[in-house]
Amino acid sequence: MATGSLRAAAAATATAAAPTQLSLSSKLSLSSKLPLHPSFSVSFHPRGGRHHAAPLVAVVRASVDAKPTVLVAEKLGEAGLSLLKGFANVDCSYNLSPEELCTKISLCDALIVRSGTKVNREVFESSGGRLKVVGRAGVGIDNVDLSAATEHGCLVVNAPTANTVAAAEHGIALLAAMARNVAQADASVKAGKWQRNKYVGVSLVGKTLAVMGFGKVGSEVARRAKGLGMHVISHDPYAPADRARAVGVDLVGFDEAITTADFISLHMPLTPATSKILNDETFAKMKKGVRIVNVARGGVIDEEALVRALDAGIVAQAALDVFTEEPPAKDSKLVQHERVTVTPHLGASTMEAQEGVAIEIAEAVIGALKGELAATAVNAPMVPAEVLTELKPFVVLAEKLGRLAVQLVGGGSGVKTIKVTYASARAPDDLDTRLLRAMITKGIIEPISNVFVNLVNADFTAKQRGLRITEERVILDGSPESPLEFIQVQIANVESRFASAISDSGEITVEGRVKDGIPHLTKVGSFEVDVSLEGNIILCRQVDQPGMIGRVGSILGEENVNVSFMSVGRIAPRKQAVMAIGVDDQPSKETLKRIGDIPAVEEFVFLKL
């Protein structure tokens, strides 16, 4: 095999149907050079973030001559708007009907929404591939169809931190207001009444509060409730117990939480698992007289069941900021219920939070449009920023190897099985290959389709096209300074336009390395070559004999085709050899014919990078 002694071969195998969600769109790409789509280029900039891991994002940079257009479909803070205006054409169109949104979206590169706009599949389909980023100016992304976004290669980013405190404060406000009947008493006084006995409340101190979902908002609510003298427990199957313990909160099971609580405050996302998690069955288990606060999502409560539980006296009171349908029907029994306090989804609505969210989302959207990594990507895999930095040249290598391998396929058997081998001195779990796999997929699919592949949609697209990509690790001896020694891409069960590209084991095989930061092709079939992967490549198989390099070189020179690199790999002197020639320009058909006509040339192929 290639350089480096093998300590052990073969490790983890993965397929294209990997756990991350990935998909595609036009004019989105990951490579630093995109000859097919010259108006967009992409770069990788590791960006430190609040999180230890920065996501790998399919990102785009608009060309200098074309300012991107950002549609802001819901009210956004001024600070965010002015950031956006410094970079893009900004169209603030609020209260669009679904039809109007679908019409406008085909003219937009990015869309910014809050929770009031449904970004459904139709929106992505209507964008005609132009929409590259959806920015959710807030946390919950349940109004964005993530599968459709992924399938269309559209990145979704959110603003997950700037409204946390506002939501927690609103939860506490509702908790206290509910316990002391503030809203009902206020309405009563304004109606000219003075009902001091009717609005006797309950105290919070010493009561048990169950925080359902110990994430950003839930933990802030817990901290504040502790300050009010409440006994706080929490249910969150995914939260680390030590983080809860640090706040003085015990994590408990779902049933324990709902059966022991005097107050239940909901702070989990709306997912299939949490949908209607409070229902007839669970209300029946609660303490009689329990009080419920919901500043998460309306859908986590079965609202009809809540009305029944209120009427049955199981639930004494509820305070709700969010509803299954927003706005709820005017005659909603729940909203009109005497013991229910409601607000119109105001959790994030403080001046401070809205300015913060606007800046957070504007930065994320601009960053994504510029080709930077988005720290808040929702539908792209997460890989630590430092890993991205060191993988950058291998990312380019990976795409180019994919591009070369697929162009070597001939006949009509169809590409189905791709094997990628990563040779590295790193331990298997110390090399994240998702980005590399995505780029190989891009390299393989783009030359043979009109599909544009990026990190968001690579695995999805591969799966859709029935490509089976297996990954194998070769563990090399030596210094693990560099993340990778070489990458080998093999396409099995196919014929080749260039028979010499078929290795002894029967697959089209190309292998490459990074030398001084530049990707090189170092093996074709069983032939060792060395040509930098820049420009385009001519591969020639000939009988090894003096003067061949000169003859081919002079034909290219006469036709004004600039040669950047040449290398010959041979089995033995005077036997067959493969010459790899890097050329800056695309040679004309006549030029290629002249090369093919050289008597010693047995086969040749021109490959675009």
Ligand X SMILES: O=C(O)[C@H](O)COP(=O)(O)O
Catalytic residue set: 297, 326, 345
Separation CA 588–CA 585 (nearest Å): 9
Strands 61-62 and 69-72: unpaired
137 interacts with, out of ligand NAD, ligand X, none, CB within 5 to 8 A per kind: ligand X
104 interacts with, out of ligand X, ligand NAD, none, CB within 5 to 8 A per kind: none
- Interface mask (CB under 6 A) for ligand X, residues 292-321, using x and -? ------------------------------
Cα dihedral value 381, 385, 391, 396, nearest 10: 70
- 3 state DSSP class of 86: coil
Q: Which of 30, 60, 72, 114 binds ligand X (CB under 6 A)?
A: 114
Q: Residue 208 belongs to what H/E stretch?
A: strand 208-212
Q: Which of 62, 70, 139, 318 binds ligand X (CB under 6 A)?
A: 139
Q: Which of residues 184-223 bind ligand NAD (CB under 6 A)?
A: 212-218
320 interacts with, out of ligand NAD, ligand X, none, CB within 5 to 8 A per kind: none
From the list 157-165, 187-195, 359-367, 525-533, the region that binds ligand NAD by CB under 6 A is 157-165
Rounded to the nearest whole angstrom, what is the least distance from the CB of residue 342 to ligand X in the complex? Answer: 15
Q: Using CB atoms, what's the residue nearest to ligand NAD?
A: 215
- Residue 348 as a binder of ligand X (CB under 6 A): the answer is yes
Name which of 298 and 582 has its Cβ closer to ligand NAD: 298
516 CB contacts (<8 Å, ≥6 apart)? none
- 3 state DSSP class of 341: strand
381 interacts with, out of ligand X, ligand NAD, none, CB within 5 to 8 A per kind: none
237 interacts with, out of ligand NAD, ligand X, none, CB within 5 to 8 A per kind: ligand NAD
Cα dihedral value 243, 246, 249, 255, nearest 10: 30
- Residue 345 as a binder of ligand NAD (CB under 6 A): the answer is yes
- Residue 137 as a binder of ligand X (CB under 6 A): the answer is yes
Residue whose tokens read 């001896």:
477
Q: Which of 115, 219, 317, 567 binds ligand X (CB under 6 A)?
A: 115
| Dihedral sign computed on CA atoms, order 11, 14, 20, 23 | positive
- Interface mask (CB under 6 A) for ligand NAD, residues 256-295, using x and -? -----------xxxx--xx--------------------x
Nearest CA among 458, 408, 404, 463 for reference residue 436: 458
Name which of 322 and 385 has its Cβ closer to ligand NAD: 322
549 CB contacts (<8 Å, ≥6 apart)? 566, 568, 579
Nearest CA among 397, 387, 382, 593 for reference residue 510: 397
Region of 43 (left: φ > 0; alpha: ψ -120 to 50; beta: rest) is beta
Nearest CA among 348, 358, 322 for reference residue 135: 358
Rounded to the nearest whole angstrom, what is the least distance from the CB of residue 297 to ligand X in the complex? Answer: 7
Total residues contacting ligand X by CB under 6 A comes to 12
Q: 40-57: string of b/e by CB count within 10 Å (b at 16+)?
A: bbbebebbeeeeeebbbb
- Residue 347 as a binder of ligand X (CB under 6 A): the answer is yes
- Residue 329 as a binder of ligand NAD (CB under 6 A): the answer is no
E strand spans, 295-356: 315-320, 340-342
- 3 state DSSP class of 365: helix
267 interacts with, out of ligand X, ligand NAD, none, CB within 5 to 8 A per kind: ligand NAD
Rounded to the nearest whole angstrom, what is the least distance from the CB of residue 373 to ligand NAD in the complex? Answer: 20
From the list 113-121, 402-410, 514-522, 526-534, the region that binds ligand X by CB under 6 A is 113-121
Rounded to the nearest whole angstrom, what is the least distance from the CB of residue 52 to ligand NAD in the complex? Answer: 16
Nearest CA among 506, 430, 424 for reference residue 473: 424
- Residue 80 as a binder of ligand X (CB under 6 A): the answer is no
Q: Directed axis angle between helix 548-558 and helix 589-596, to 10°?
A: 160
Contact present, 33 and 400 (Cβ < 8 Å): no
- Residue 136 as a binder of ligand NAD (CB under 6 A): the answer is no
Rounded to the nearest whole angstrom, what is the least distance from the CB of residue 182 to ligand NAD in the complex? Answer: 18
In degrees and rounded to multiples of 5, residue 486 shows phi and psi of: -150, 160
Name which of 160 and 525 has its Cβ closer to ligand X: 160
Name which of 134 and 537 has its Cβ closer to ligand X: 134
Residues lying near ligand NAD in the complex (CB under 6 A): 139-140, 160, 163-164, 167, 212-218, 235-239, 267-270, 273-274, 295-297, 321-322, 345, 347-348
Q: Which residues bind ligand X (CB under 6 A)?
A: 114-116, 137-140, 163, 345, 347-349
